[in-house]
């Protein structure tokens, strides 16, 4: 990306619509309802605690007690965030005896958080 003053964005000097680009952009645009759903989906990632949980359980299932210890939080606070993650199908759980182990719901979740981290580390 070019070094541009942060407060000044370059603009076209001439108002000219490029119909081929407009059509291509419109063709790629999801339906309005899908955009709302996608926006809601990304809002779930807007909480550092939920992201911490996702990273903590990436690679190995963990119970609430272990996640709370990793993040230095209470079990209640972790449980609350796990509920949000579960409702958005980002985590799943498996009950083993009296323990409940949480893990990422699938590789797509792993890909999303890894790509996001890769992006901010550039």
What pLDDT was estimated at residue 57?
97
What values do phi and psi take at 92, rounded to 5? Answer: -135, 165
Q: Work out the end-to-end distance of the chain between its first and last CA atoms, rounded to an integer number of angstroms.
A: 11
What pLDDT was estimated at residue 75?
96
Residue recorded with tokens 């890769």 = 118
Q: Whole-number mean pLDDT of the chain?
A: 92
Q: What is the tens place of the pLDDT at every residue in 46-80?
A: 999 999 999 999 989 999 999 999 999 999 999 99
CATH top class, domain 47-121: mainly alpha
> What are the tokens at 55?
């990273």
Task: Give, for 65, the enclosing helix (H) or strand (E).
Answer: helix 64-71
What pLDDT was estimated at residue 77?
97
Sheet with strand 62-63: strands edge to edge: 62-63, 99-104, 91-96
Given a cut of 60, whether residue 89 has pLDDT beyond it is yes
Average pLDDT over residues 98-117: 95
**Domain locations in the chain as residue ranges:** 47-121
């Amino acid at each position: 990306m070019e070094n541009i003053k942060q407060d000044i964005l370059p603009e076209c000097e001439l108002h000219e619509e490029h119909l081929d680009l407009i059509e291509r952009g419109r063709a790629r645009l999801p339906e309005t309802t899908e955009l709302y759903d996608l926006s809601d989906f990304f809002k779930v990632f807007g909480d550092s605690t939920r992201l911490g949980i996702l990273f903590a359980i990436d690679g190995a299932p963990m119970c609430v007690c272990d996640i709370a210890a990793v993040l230095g939080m209470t079990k209640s606070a972790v449980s609350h965030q796990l509920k949000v993650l579960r409702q958005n199908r980002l985590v799943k759980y498996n009950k083993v005896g009296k323990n409940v182990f949480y893990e990422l719901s699938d590789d797509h979740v792993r890909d999303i958080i890894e790509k996001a981290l890769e992006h901010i580390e550039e």
